[in-house]
Structure 1
Amino acid sequence: MEADVTQGRWISPEAGRTTVAEWAEQWFSAAESGWKPKTRHTYRSVLDRLVLAHLGRVQLAALRPIAVNKWVGTLSERLSPSQVRQAYRLLSQIMAAAVDNGMIPSSPCRRPRLPRIPEADPRILTVEQVGRITAHCTLGDRVLVLLLAYAGLRIGEALPLRRRHIDISGGRIVVAEAVSELPGGPVIDTPKSHQRRELAVPAFVLQLVREHFAALPDEPDAFAFPGRRKHTAERQQSYHGFRRRFNRAVTAAGLDGVTPHDLRATHASWVADTHGVLLAARRLGHANASVTTRHYARPVDGRDAEVARHLDKIGRARSGTQRARKARKVEE
């Protein structure tokens, strides 16, 4: 014990007797000020339902890796892989903070076998398919769909746009806010990762925005997509209302299973195909281009066949050159 004290490794036994629930509440209270409302709500729910309900009464010093592994296995039997991983990441953060604050000497979260999340490719649409969807939308919804497909906005970034965020004459749009749907109602905050960005928007989209704005209040702070009923006109329209209309338009267009988020992935693929993944990442607001390629950008249909034809062309040209050289050698 004296050696541990001398080397700064000594842990008070009283600290280890603190329960997981007691320490988790201290950690949550200290950390929540830096989180977005949606993150705060999600963490609170996961903490109560999946962490404290199972491990809350266990003392920090008594929580062993084998108990964490058993807990992960129990959750895996009834929850999706993403929910299990989310719960484990949260517990891991709480235990790491306990180590940093001298509550326990080491974390019991030591890389258990987590369930794998199946990779699902996003639906990448063609320009013609996006046009078929917008053909069945009212003007306001048509503008909204086109901003998702031709500017790569998240739906939560598009819904709270205000008139001052869209510069029609300058051809640019500013993404400065995002809305999250929470049990207590929608909350407007900064975009994901607090990233404010400006995007150039195609002229034909801006022309439709101009037509759409003609029927809205001419005020800088007026929402570009206000609530559709009189008593909701002073706030942004709800995601659920738009989603119902979007689903009807998708069905009317002869498509199936398309989501608003697929339009963001579609934009990423279009831009990556023509101008590279780095520009696609910047337009989507990703700090790392690997996120864009892993979750959004996909090869545009037909490009793989084009690659094969190009390789065939250069292969034939090389073979022809070799045959010509052999023919000259024979003549010589």
Structure 2
Amino acid sequence: MAGKRKSRRNFGRIRKLPSGRFQVRYLGPDGVLRPADRTFPTTTDADRWLNRKRIEIEEGRWIDPAEGRTTVRDWSARWLAAVSPQLKHKTRATYRSLINSLIVPALGDRELSSLRPITVAEWVGGMRTRGLSASRIRQAYRVLSQIMRSAVDNDMIPQTPCRGVKLPRMPQTEPHILTPSEASRLVQSAAKPHDLLIALLAYAGLRVGEAFALRRSDINVSAGIVLVDENLAEANGALVFDTPKTHQKRFLRVGPSLGERLGRHLTTLPDSDDALLFTTPGGKPLRYNQWRKAYFDPAVAAAGLSDVTPHDLRASHGTWVADRYGVMTAAHRLGHSNASVTTRHYARPVVGRDDQVAEAADHWLDGHDGHTPAPGARSGHDDDDDGSSGALVPV
């Protein structure tokens, strides 16, 4: 018993206050004597707390209380500065916007250690009450979760308060999958050269930003190859050229007809490898909203279609390819990051399959809906090695 008292005396102190309660001070691993975060009604309670703190320090679980007193505002700024070099321009701008508009105004003055799951739940509830979209709320929550997880990883707080919080559900929306002939009609209804841009979305599966960023040097007409290595996006109103969404460039085969159209279009461009394929009448890079309103939506109406977005063309391309050549080939065409992990570790695209896709896409471009697979192509309903049913999911 005397040994226990000696151990406690070396590690901490318990003294009775004028109020009758007991105060605890303990020696941290840095040699600093610190008070407990509360007082205790009995010496037994105080001694029990002191023993738990000693075990916490011995097991390496101790966190300096001063770290937890850092405010959410200060830690958010430090976290964003640390991760920014690894982020794409648009992602960095989005994170900064969410922090400045939604996280800091509501939680910025709070200390990290003061946040609890109920605090975060109330914050989420407040955003819902103000009518923010489910998407915006979920984005803000994900950023706060990353900030708090980083605080845990850096021994600022013992655990994240972003746990067990119910988030609003995203509305379920399905892409409008066009038939090849509908997409061909849309291409034919568009003004030049935007008919070619729309054709690249539908028959090469490009993202809109990838099509906007195409340059003369990205097109190899003789080989029928399009290099996708840039993406044009808007970040806080500014246009930014960056890597594609998955940070990976890809080469796409296009059929002879689409290749010929690209070749003819190249003759109209300035004689520079960096010349953009598609620009405004004044030669400036395209902005999505302006381009859609001026060129895409009128083409949709002229084609007798409705409720079609540029992204629907990419989803349609993925569906056509998956139906005829398998989901893995479609994911390869679309440059999906998840599929790239799958192909890198478990599977490989079948040799020559991209050539078959390019040939078939040429027929689709002419408005043919034929469903006869190319020689050796999968129908999408064959038995798969993994036992899947072969059902298609729009990509």
TM range (shorter): 0.7 to 0.9
How far 1:243 moved relative to its partner?
1.0
Q: Which residue in the other structure is 1:323 paired with?
A: none
Distance 1:124 1:201 in 2: 21
What aligned pairs does 1:146-157 form with structure 2 within 5 A after superposition? 146-157=199-210
Is 1:88 aligned with 2:141? yes
Secondary structure at the counterpart of residue 111 of structure 1: coil
> For 2:329 and 2:299, how far apart are their aligned partners in 1?
30
Q: CA deviation at 1:289?
A: 4.0
Kindly report the root-mean-square deviation, in angstroms, between the aligned alpha carbons of the 2 structures.
2.1
Code of the residue aligned with 1:286 in structure 2: it is: H
**Which of 245, 259, 279 is the equivalent residue of 1:226?**
279
**Residue number in structure 2 paired with 1:183:** 236
The structure with more radius of gyration:
2
- Deviation per CA, 1:244-284, whole angstroms, max 9, x where unpaired? 21111111111112111111001001101100111111111
Question: Equivalent residue for 1:254?
Answer: 304
Corresponding position of 1:6: 58
SS at match of 1:58: coil
The CA deviation string for residues 115-159 of structure 1, in whole angstroms up to 9 with x for no partner, is 111221001111221122122222311110000001100010011
Q: How far is 1:73 from its partner?
A: 1.6
> In structure 1, which of residues 285, 307, 318 is the aligned counterpart of residue 335 of structure 2?
285
Segment drifting more, 112-121 vs 215-224 = 215-224
Structure 1 residue 38: deviation in Å?
0.4
2:24 — aligned with what? none
Per-residue displacement from partner, 1:79-98 (whole Å, max 9, x unpaired)?
Answer: 11111111111111111111
The one of 201, 217, 239 aligned to 2:288: 239
Deviates more, 1:272-281 or 1:216-225: 216-225
In the alignment, structure 1 residue 110 sits paired with structure 2 residue 159 = no
Equivalent residue number for residue 314 of structure 1: none
Amino acid at match of 1:256: S
Residue 267 in 1 paired to residue 320 in 2? no
| Alignment partner, residue 77 of structure 2 | 25
Tell me which moved more, 272-281 or 110-119.
110-119
Q: Which residue of 2 aligns with 1:213?
A: 266
TM-score of the superposition, structure 1-length normalised? 0.83
The equivalent of 2:109 in structure 1 is: 57
Post-superposition CA distance 1:214-251 (Å, at most 9, x none): 2222332221113322xxx2x43333332121111111
CA shift, 1:3, in A, is 2.3
CA contact (8 A) 1:277 1:289 kept: no
CA contact (8 A) 1:11 1:102 kept: yes
* 2:234 counterpart SS class: strand
- Taking a change above 3 Å as real, the CA distance of residues 180 and 59 of structure 1, as seen in their structure-2 partners, is same
Pick the structure with more helix per residue: 1
How far apart are 1:291 and its partner, in Å? Answer: 11
Percent of aligned pairs with the same residue?
Answer: 48
Distance in 1, Cα, partners of 2:286 & 2:160: 45
- In structure 2, what residue type is equivalent to 1:225? F
Contact 1:141 1:242 in 2 (8 A): no
SS at match of 2:240: strand
Contact kept in structure 1, 2:191 and 2:299, CA below 8 Å: no
The whole-number CA distance in structure 2 between the counterparts of 1:108 and 1:118 is: 26
SS at match of 1:104: coil
1:72-151 map, 5 Å: 72-77=124-129, 78-151=131-204
1:201 aligns with 2:251: no
Change (3 A) 1:27 1:284: same
Question: Per the alignment, do residues 246 and 161 of structure 1 end up closer, same or farther by CA in structure 2, a change over 3 Å counting?
Answer: same
Give structure 2 stretches of 5+ with no counterpart. Answer: 1-52, 343-368, 372-378, 380-395
Aligned equivalents of 1:122, 1:81: Cα separation in 2: 19
Matched residue, 2:386: none
Report the secondary structure of 2:103's partner residue.
helix
